[in-house]
């Protein structure tokens, strides 16, 4: 029978019941509950099992700092592990289960670890699992992997959609408690563009959890009124359920908005949005986080933070227990006593570690001063506590108040350090805040209500004036300042049993002392040796205790020990949110060629070339293997005519009176004297003399050139040219722009290519061999007056042209060319056949231009001018690059024609050992040549050009293969080049 | 005698979409060129443009428009000129007679253009680019280059619709058309 822990009051909506399931059991809660508050209301205390010792754990806090109550939410592909029940908004149909147990949550078989705790203290894995070494991979590692971690992933793809966004504002308000609301209201009324964020689903911060009045009304009512006014302001944007998780440079923040986490999965909305917020100013009003006290067995279900106990009572109408007690080292614990007592909860006693206080307890509540709790009993739920004076008190809930730590995290995301304040026994924001940031309220060490409201208004007015606007006449509402006195009491030394410091990683006070003993005393070493503060809660409730204990052990002050580095994210951000829409097919955008749709209709197989999709081959019915298609395409080009979309190659338009000089400095060969109407192959070198790219450049007019580049280097070459123009030679009169997109360009190649083109080129344009010889270029018209450009260049080695029309006609042109070429059996060919043809011809591509080769290696040394200055000409002549036995690009033929060659294999002499000293070069490109009926390749080999006919072995030690090859000319087909000039 | 005819296609075949308070539609341009002034020719170029189209060279990130033409500047020395149908002959002539003043190229086919308007148009673009497009900061005639879902775009604010709806235009390289459509549609 579940006990009912609901009490009166709270801001949950008792008219809206919600059904949910936990660990297979059905429960009821209300709209406005969290999963934690609803489970507590139903008397469920054990929600989880601790990391190492598998101890039963319950709810510890009421916020995102929760270290214990981590559950797995949802099922199937929506399953999400390690979700904090304390911030999970309850919704109809919510399904959750516990984590980190074998067997069942209530009776976890792994609890045996608790008995082994002496062997599992901090750093145990540095001293164990060492011997024997062979056991590591087969035995130790699998066991440790299975035991490690808390929740589990579904291993299915995340079905939800996530998005990213960008917001701009004058003022980013982080936190909507009393100081945050005052600041937002002031800024909003002054006309600033304000974004107000809060990680909670209900704005108002602690006003929703406390009983102090503001302006004569309940705090949460005042908050509602302010929020209502803010909602009506056009210049204010409210983002609840939004965690500002990181403070980055220049006033830029990262924020995660949980858009539909509180709705049943599959609702169709985007699930989360990752916002980048650009702010002129920011105000951090993130409040303070309560910390615990370390004492024996302080981790039992039923032991929670005192401020949280108040929040559950006042906001959710849930009691921590039926007969509770309070253990405190400061005045705040007394407020919990008063609040719960006022709600009719029996408070057995309040135990205060201090010797005296001005606080008073309600009648009927025993006060025990100058005493501490040192042990507790009740494994599955607290049932008694033992004090340092020997007394045992029966109690089913203990509210612990160890003081408050300002949430300074965002002030330290840019390597800032917080500053220790002795009076508050807490770290406050340090001197080095991120640019434009101010801090108000408890985050700034302002711990009482009226002071918070005042500070919020004053700082906001300062910011308003800084931004050149006029503050409004808003004044601070009436409120009181509660008394605030705290003490630096961190752990109960009398405790004999383990006293927990970091609940989530199961780090105890003993572990901290062990770390000191082992010599890991610096706070960053303490963290890593014990794993204190390394769990998903990042030590929000525990870091302070840990470093205080370390300070004591080392005889240092707390500021001397210091804090560890704070890093974003403040609380966990899922990888899905970081990815946004960039997943799967949408990881990158795709670029489609003008003939793409037509190619799809032909059933083309596509390949990714950077962002482009290019047809790789066009399979025909009956072909079962890609090589069949590629062989057919390559043969068709040499025998009749083929058609290939080459729109992807970079086209750079260069104009200006110094264009020819500009190109002359960029290319290794000369361009100043290129006649108008002609095209020339050019190679450009890097500064270090290596070949960067090659292409053909056409001179369309005296001061107008059109350069082509390889697809892969289009952007790189353009950038290089812009750098040369802007930085190296800014005085040259030259302008560049990409023309890649403007034209659809097709290669029409083969002995019948001219005949096909003559059918579409308008009669006025003469493209006969005399009028339009090899390497000519010019403007023509086609199909009744459509402007086009024709280039007589050949990559295949056959009679060939490239025809360019404005891209709008691209789809139409390919269909027209296919029709015009039908009588010649025109064959579309893709990148694979293109590659076969160019290898047969001996043309270099990216494989050969790999950044390690020179013009000399490529056999193009004669192209490199000795008469002009150009990029790369000096270092090109380095001794080692021009040596006698330099690598030369040559052809390789498999001695047994059907033995496949492997690109990347290295050449070793026939009777030499396969060692580095005997390495003579490597194979760069290979293919099966249907025209020669043999496997062939291109590659670099020492002195290759003077070793024709010699045989070497092409060796690959990775696949353990080798082939006997013969060195031949790289121009396998038509070495004289007569077909080109036909 | 060729009997073939070439048909023109826009990059998105007349795409239009109404979704979540935003209307998108593809816009096609009658004529567009790039203009980069050659050394020392800015003033002459400016005058020539005024003579032919009634518009001079605007400042960077600004667009000057008339009924039949607009010129905008996206970077130092980089301008684009767009004309309506009735000015295409002027454009052809301008290219022919002013080659010594500026480097100019035909850009008419190079871009995909989508216009967006509607009550939620700002909310839509907040999720797409880091530009601050609040109406007070990004007025009519503002132009900026940015990235949307990894696609480089030129983004501009056009004149409001007759019902007062704010209107923007997104331009991307033509080959990215399908990816841009997808980025805007989801």
Asked if pLDDT for residue A484 goes beyond 90, the answer is no
Q: How far is A809 from chain B (nearest CA, A)?
A: 5
Please give the pLDDT value at position A572. Answer: 95
Q: Across the interface, do B109 and A167 touch by the CB < 8 Å criterion? A: no
Asked if A62 and A311 count as a contact pair (C-beta separation under 8 A), the reply is yes
pLDDT tens by residue, A36-69: 999 999 999 999 999 989 999 999 999 999 999 9
Establish if A233 touches chain B: CB-CB under 8 angstroms: no
Strands (E), A68-125: 70-73, 80-84, 94-97
Task: Give the mean pLDDT of chain A.
Answer: 95
Tokens of residue A251, six digits: 């006033």
Which of A807, A813, A814 has the highest number of chain B CBs within 10 A, making it the mutation to test binding with B? A807
pLDDT tens by residue, A593-644: 999 999 999 999 999 998 999 999 999 999 999 999 999 999 999 999 999 9
Interval A912-939 mean pLDDT: 96
Residues 6 or more apart whose CB falls under 8 angstroms from that of A402 comprise A290, A291, A292, A293, A328, A329, A330, A489, A490, A544, A545
Is residue A141 very low, low, confident or very high in pLDDT (cuts 50, 70, 90)?
A: confident
Q: Where are the domains of chain B?
A: 16-28+109-185, 31-106
Q: Across the interface, do A783 and B126 touch by the CB < 8 Å criterion? A: no
pLDDT tens by residue, A539-551: 999 999 999 999 9
Interval A677-697 mean pLDDT: 94
Residue of A nearest to B77 (CA): A735
Interval A296-301 mean pLDDT: 97
Please give the pLDDT value at position A311. Answer: 98
Asked if pLDDT for residue A335 goes beyond 70, the answer is yes
Please give the pLDDT value at position A916. Answer: 95
Interval A114-125 mean pLDDT: 81
Q: Across the interface, do B132 and A168 touch by the CB < 8 Å criterion? A: yes
Interval B139-154 mean pLDDT: 97
Q: How far is A761 from chain B (nearest CA, A)?
A: 7
Instruction: State the CB neighbour count (10 A cutoff) for residue A956.
Output: 18
Establish if B173 touches chain A: CB-CB under 8 angstroms: yes
Please give the pLDDT value at position A689. Answer: 96
- Distance of alpha carbon A5 from alpha carbon A397, whole angstroms: 12
Angle between helices A543-554 and A509-517 (to 10 degrees): 40
Q: Where are the alpha helices (H) located in B41-153, listed in sequence order?
A: 42-53, 88-97, 121-126
- Compute chain A's Rg from CA coordinates: 38
DSSP state of A499: B
Half-sphere exposure of A119 (CA within 13 A, CB side): 7
| CA-wise closest residue to A900 among A934, A862, A940 | A934
Please give the pLDDT value at position A105. Answer: 86
- Distance of alpha carbon A857 from alpha carbon A450, whole angstroms: 80
Say which CATH class B31-106 falls into. Answer: alpha beta
Q: Where are the domains of chain A?
A: 162-286+416-466, 591-648+742-837, 654-735, 883-982
Asked if B6 and A813 count as a contact pair (C-beta separation under 8 A), the reply is yes
Asked if pLDDT for residue A147 goes beyond 80, the answer is no
Residue of B nearest to A734 (CA): B38
pLDDT tens by residue, A648-686: 999 999 999 999 999 999 999 999 999 999 999 999 999
Measured at the CA of B145, the angle between CA B23 and CA B32, to 5 degrees, comes to: 75
**Fold that domain A883-982 belongs to in CATH:** Elongation Factor Tu (Ef-tu); domain 3 (2.40.30)
Q: How far is B16 from chain A (nearest CA, A)?
A: 19
- Distance of alpha carbon A275 from alpha carbon B130, whole angstroms: 10
| CA-wise closest residue to A204 among A400, A30, A11 | A11
* Partner B, chain A 723-752, Cβ-Cβ below 8 Å: 733-737, 739-743
- Distance of alpha carbon A238 from alpha carbon A167, whole angstroms: 12
- Distance of alpha carbon A135 from alpha carbon A144, whole angstroms: 12
- End-to-end Cα, chain A, rounded Å: 97
Establish if A581 touches chain B: CB-CB under 8 angstroms: yes
The CATH number of A654-735, from 3.40.50.720, 3.30.70.1400, 1.10.3720.10, 1.10.40.30, is: 3.30.70.1400
- Omega before residue A431 within 30° of 0, cis: no
Residues listed for chain B: 186
Residues of chain A with Cβ-Cβ distance to B182 below 8 Å are 586
Asked if pLDDT for residue A104 goes beyond 90, the answer is no
Asked if pLDDT for residue A3 goes beyond 80, the answer is no
Tokens of residue A471, six digits: 């503050």
Which residues pair with residue A682 across a beta bridge?
A695
Please give the pLDDT value at position A128. Answer: 79
- Residue of B38, B126, B182 with shortest CB distance to A656: B38
Strands (E), A307-415: 323-328, 346-352, 366-369, 373-377, 384-387, 392-394, 397-401, 404-406
Interval A336-365 mean pLDDT: 95
Asked if pLDDT for residue A224 goes beyond 70, the answer is yes
Residues of chain A with Cβ-Cβ distance to B7 below 8 Å are 809, 811-812
Establish if B96 touches chain A: CB-CB under 8 angstroms: no
pLDDT tens by residue, B32-54: 999 999 999 999 999 999 999 99
Architecture of domain A591-648+742-837: 2-Layer Sandwich (3.30)
Please give the pLDDT value at position A136. Answer: 83
- Distance of alpha carbon A308 from alpha carbon A314, whole angstroms: 10
Interval A884-909 mean pLDDT: 94
pLDDT tens by residue, B12-22: 999 999 999 99
Q: How far is B101 from chain A (nearest CA, A)?
A: 9
Please give the pLDDT value at position B2. Answer: 52
Task: Give the mean pLDDT of chain B.
Answer: 95
Please give the pLDDT value at position A482. Answer: 85
Asked if pLDDT for residue A565 goes beyond 50, the answer is yes
- Distance of alpha carbon B35 from alpha carbon B80, whole angstroms: 6
In this predicted complex, what is the ipTM?
A: 0.96
Asked if pLDDT for residue B1 goes beyond 50, the answer is no
Please give the pLDDT value at position A239. Answer: 98
Q: Do domains B16-28+109-185 and B31-106 have the same CATH topology?
A: no
Q: How far is A350 from chain B (nearest CA, A)?
A: 52
Residues of chain A with Cβ-Cβ distance to B26 below 8 Å are none
Architecture of domain A162-286+416-466: 3-Layer(bba) Sandwich (3.50)
- Residue of A581, A704, A736 with shortest CB distance to B149: A581
Q: Across the interface, do B176 and A193 touch by the CB < 8 Å criterion? A: no
Establish if B111 touches chain A: CB-CB under 8 angstroms: yes
Residues of chain B with Cβ-Cβ distance to A586 below 8 Å are 149, 182
Measured at the CA of A764, the angle between CA A763 and CA A768, to 5 degrees, comes to: 70
Residues of chain B with Cβ-Cβ distance to A733 below 8 Å are 38-39
Residues 6 or more apart whose CB falls under 8 angstroms from that of A276 comprise A164, A165, A166, A167, A252, A253, A254, A255, B130
CA–CA distances in Å: residue B19 to residues A156, A560, B158: 30, 59, 20
Tokens of residue B128, six digits: 């797409």
Interval A146-169 mean pLDDT: 92
- Omega before residue A627 within 30° of 0, cis: no
Residues of chain B with Cβ-Cβ distance to A704 below 8 Å are 99
Say which CATH class B16-28+109-185 falls into. Answer: alpha beta
Q: Across the interface, do A273 and B137 touch by the CB < 8 Å criterion? A: no
Please give the pLDDT value at position A2. Answer: 55
Asked if pLDDT for residue A265 goes beyond 90, the answer is no
- Distance of alpha carbon A838 from alpha carbon A859, whole angstroms: 16
- Distance of alpha carbon A946 from alpha carbon A924, whole angstroms: 19
- Residue of B39, B126, B137 with shortest CB distance to A166: B126
Asked if pLDDT for residue A589 goes beyond 70, the answer is yes
Q: Is the dihedral of CA A855, A861, A866, A868 positive or negative?
A: negative
């Amino acid at each position: 029978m579940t006990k009912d822990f609901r009490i009166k009051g709270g801001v949950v909506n008792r008219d809206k019941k919600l059904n949910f399931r936990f660990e297979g059991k059905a429960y009821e809660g209300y709209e406005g509950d969290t999963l934690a508050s609803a489970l507590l209301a139903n008397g469920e205390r054990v929600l989880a099992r601790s990391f190492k010792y598998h101890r039963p754990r319950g709810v510890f806090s009421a916020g995102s700092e929760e270290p214990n109550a981590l559950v797995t939410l949802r099922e199937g592909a929506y399953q999400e592990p390690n979700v904090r029940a304390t911030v999970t908004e309850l919704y109809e149909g919510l399904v959750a289960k516990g984590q980190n147990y074998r067997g069942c949550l209530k009776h976890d078989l792994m609890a045996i670890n608790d008995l082994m705790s002496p062997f599992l203290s901090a750093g145990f894995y540095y001293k164990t699992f060492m011997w024997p070494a062979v056991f590591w991979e087969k035995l130790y590692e699998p066991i440790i992997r299975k035991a490690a971690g808390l929740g589990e992933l579904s291993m299915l793809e995340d079905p939800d959609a996530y998005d990213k966004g960008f917001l701009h504002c004058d003022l980013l308000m982080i936190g909507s408690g009393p100081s945050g609301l005052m600041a937002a209201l002031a800024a909003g009324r002054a006309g600033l563009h304000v974004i107000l964020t809060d990680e909670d689903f209900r704005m108002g911060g602690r006003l929703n959890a406390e009983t102090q009045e503001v302006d004569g009304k309940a705090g949460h009512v005042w908050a509602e009124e302010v929020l209502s006014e803010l909602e009506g302001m056009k210049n204010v944007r409210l983002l609840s359920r939004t965690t500002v998780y990181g403070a980055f440079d220049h006033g830029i923040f990262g924020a995660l908005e949980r858009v539909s986490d509180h709705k049943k999965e599959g609702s169709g909305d985007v699930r989360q949005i990752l916002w980048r917020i650009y702010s002129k100013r920011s105000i951090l009003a993130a409040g303070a986080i309560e910390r615990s006290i370390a004492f024996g067995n302080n981790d039992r279900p039923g032991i929670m933070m005192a401020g949280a106990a108040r929040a559950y009572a006042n906001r959710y109408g849930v009691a921590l227990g039926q007969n509770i007690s309070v253990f405190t080292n400061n005045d705040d614990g007394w407020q919990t006593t008063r609040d719960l007592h006022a709600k009719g909860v029996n408070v057995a006693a309040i135990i205060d570690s201090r010797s005296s206080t001005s606080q008073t307890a309600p009648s009927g509540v025993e006060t025990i001063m100058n005493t501490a709790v040192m042990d507790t009993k009740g494994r599955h739920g607290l049932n008694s506590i033992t004090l340092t004076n020997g007394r045992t008190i029966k109690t089913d809930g203990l509210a612990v108040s160890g003081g408050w730590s300002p949430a300074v995290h965002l002030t330290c995301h840019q390597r800032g350090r917080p500053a220790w304040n002795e009076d508050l026994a807490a770290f406050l924001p340090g001197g080095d805040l991120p640019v434009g940031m101010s801090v108000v309220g408890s985050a700034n060490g302002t711990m009482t209500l009226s002071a918070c409201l005042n500070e919020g208004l004053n700082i906001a007015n300062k910011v308003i004036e800084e931004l050149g606007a006029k503050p409004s006449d808003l004044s601070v509402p009436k409120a009181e300042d509660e008394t605030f006195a705290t003490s630096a009491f961190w752990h109960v030394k009398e405790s004999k049993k383990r006293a927990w410091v970091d609940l989530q990683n199961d780090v105890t006070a003993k572990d901290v002392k062990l770390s000191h003993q082992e010599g890991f005393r610096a706070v960053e070493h303490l963290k890593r040796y014990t794993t204190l503060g390394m769990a998903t809660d990042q030590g929000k409730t525990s870091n302070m205790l840990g470093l205080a204990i370390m300070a004591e052990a080392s005889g240092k002050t707390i500021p001397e020990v210091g804090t560890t580095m704070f890093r974003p994210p403040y609380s966990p951000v899922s990888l899905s949110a970081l990815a946004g829409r960039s997943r799967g097919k949408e990881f990158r955008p795709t670029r489609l060629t003008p003939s793409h749709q037509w190619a799809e209709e032909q059933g083309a197989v596509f390949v990714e070339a950077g962002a482009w999709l290019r047809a790789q081959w066009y399979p025909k019915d009956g072909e079962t293997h890609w090589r069949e298609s590629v062989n057919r395409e390559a043969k068709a080009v040499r025998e009749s005519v083929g058609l290939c979309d080459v729109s992807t190659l970079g086209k750079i338009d260069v104009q200006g009176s110094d264009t020819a000089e500009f190109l002359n400095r960029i290319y290794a060969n000369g361009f100043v004297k290129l006649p108008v109407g002609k095209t020339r192959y050019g190679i450009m070198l890097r500064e270090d003399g290596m070949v960067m790219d090659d292409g053909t450049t056409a001179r369309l007019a005296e001061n107008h050139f059109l350069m082509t580049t390889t697809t892969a280097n289009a952007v790189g070459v353009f950038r290089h040219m812009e750098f040369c123009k802007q930085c190296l030679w800014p005085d040259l009169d030259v302008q560049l722009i990409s023309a890649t997109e403007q034209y659809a360009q097709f290669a029409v190649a083969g002995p019948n290519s001219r005949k096909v083109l003559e059918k579409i080129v308008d009669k006025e344009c003469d493209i006969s061999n005399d009028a339009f010889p090899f390497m000519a270029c010019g403007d023509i018209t086609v199909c009744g007056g459509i402007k086009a450009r024709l280039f007589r260049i050949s990559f295949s080695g056959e009679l060939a042209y490239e025809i360019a029309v404005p891209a709008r006609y691209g789809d139409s042109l390919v269909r027209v060319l296919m029709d015009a070429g039908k009588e010649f059996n025109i064959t579309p060919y893709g990148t694979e056949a293109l590659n076969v043809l160019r290898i047969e011809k001996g043309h270099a591509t990216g494989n050969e231009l790999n950044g390690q080769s020179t013009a000399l290696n490529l056999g193009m040394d004669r192209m490199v001018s000795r008469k002009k200055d150009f990029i790369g000409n000096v270092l090109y002549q380095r001794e080692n690059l021009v040596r006698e036995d330099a690598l030369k690009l040559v052809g390789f033929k498999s001695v047994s024609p059907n033995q496949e060659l492997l690109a990347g294999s290295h050449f070793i002499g026939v009777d030499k050992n396969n060692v580095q000293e005997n390495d003579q070069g490597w194979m760069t490109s290979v293919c099966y040549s249907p025209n020669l009926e043999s496997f062939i390749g291109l590659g670099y080999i020492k002195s290759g050009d003077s070793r024709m006919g010699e045989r070497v072995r092409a060796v690959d030690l990775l696949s353990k293969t080798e082939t006997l090859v013969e060195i031949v000319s790289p121009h396998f087909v038509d070495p004289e080049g007569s077909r080109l000039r036909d | 005698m060729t009997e073939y005819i070439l048909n023109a296609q826009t990059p998105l075949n007349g795409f239009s979409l109404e979704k979540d308070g935003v209307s998108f539609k593809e816009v096609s341009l009658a004529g567009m060129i790039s203009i980069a002034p050659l050394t020392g020719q800015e003033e002459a170029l400016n005058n020539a443009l005024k003579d032919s189209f009634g518009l001079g060279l605007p400042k960077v990130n600004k667009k000057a428009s008339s009924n039949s033409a607009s010129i905008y500047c996206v970077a130092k020395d980089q301008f684009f000129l767009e004309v309506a149908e009735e000015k295409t002959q002027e454009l052809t002539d301008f290219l022919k007679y002013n080659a010594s003043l500026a480097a100019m190229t035909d850009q008419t086919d190079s871009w995909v253009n989508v216009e967006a308007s509607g009550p939620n148009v700002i909310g839509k673009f907040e999720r797409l680019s880091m530009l601050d497009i609040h109406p007070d900061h990004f007025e009519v005639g503002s132009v900026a280059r940015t990235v949307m879902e990894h696609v480089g775009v030129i983004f501009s604010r056009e004149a409001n619709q007759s019902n007062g709806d704010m209107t923007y235009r997104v331009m991307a390289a033509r080959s990215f058309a399908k990816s841009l459509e997808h980025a805007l549609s989801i």
